[in-house]
Amino acid sequence: MEVRRLAGALGAELLGVDLSEDFPENEIRGALLEHQVVFFRDQRLTPAQFMAFARRMGKPIEYPFVRGIDGFPEVIEVKKLEHERHNFGGIWHSDTAYLEEPPMGSMLLARELPPYGGDTLFANQYLAYETLSAGMRRVLDGLTAVNSSANADVSRTREDRIKEQSRTTEDFTAEHPVVRTHPETGRRALYVNVAHTARFRGMTGDESGPLLRFLFEHQVKPEFTCRFQWRVGSLAFWDNRCVQHNPVNDYHGYRRVMHRITLAGDRPR
């Protein structure tokens, strides 16, 4: 397996790997921990093969808001159709931070793509934390964030999918440390996001707003990011504990269909 870095901040393509056959599980896991998000090309996987890979990497779980595809409840279809204006999850975020135990990671496999656009951005939250001043880090280390699935911006990006494929209309809320320690690497990462974080515990939204706005802007600075251009059969696997992502919504009038699997995580600490 060849590891080819994609950017200075994070991201690497893993070449010479066929995920439908035997593959170097430990090397892939090591590359994920080192680079935070890894990419594979030309993986024409069936849903069963996709699930088999996911089970080697973790425990697939169902997404709370969208039903899975037939026969595979843990595989959801992430799609934007020709007539839709909002894409699914089209805002910077860490997946389902409003759950008590947010996912360890997520996998996305490209099935149908527009003729242009539809790239995905990723941001390294280790760097977002480590580049803050010592004074700011001390402030954040003592704060807890209140995260909610009811955030209006992110709800709007999935409105069409929920109408069509909803599993639940329940709102979820969870409190997590603003700075979490990665359970495998021991590194500290900023763990708030503009899609889900509503306020700090013990503060109102208005009181929390100025500091949160600073953090939301800081944590996705260009020097913390990489950009991935999809091809059919491309697969991305990212570490949700230290990475945010944002699918670029720049292909109106065209269809984009992806399959996603989410892997179980633990309670942030």
Catalytic (active-site) positions? 93, 95, 245, 260
3-state SS, residue 53: helix
> Dihedral of CA 89/45/117/127: which sign?
positive
The residue among 154, 218, 146 whose CA lies nearest residue 178 is: 146
CB contact burial 171-195 (16+ within 10 A = b; e otherwise)? ebebebbbbbebeeeeebbbbbbbb
Looking only at the bridges linking them, the beta strands covering 105-112 and 179-181 are: unpaired
Contact at 8 Å (CB) between 7 and 127? no
H runs (alpha helix) in 58-204? 125-130, 134-141, 152-157, 159-165
Contact at 8 Å (CB) between 58 and 32? no
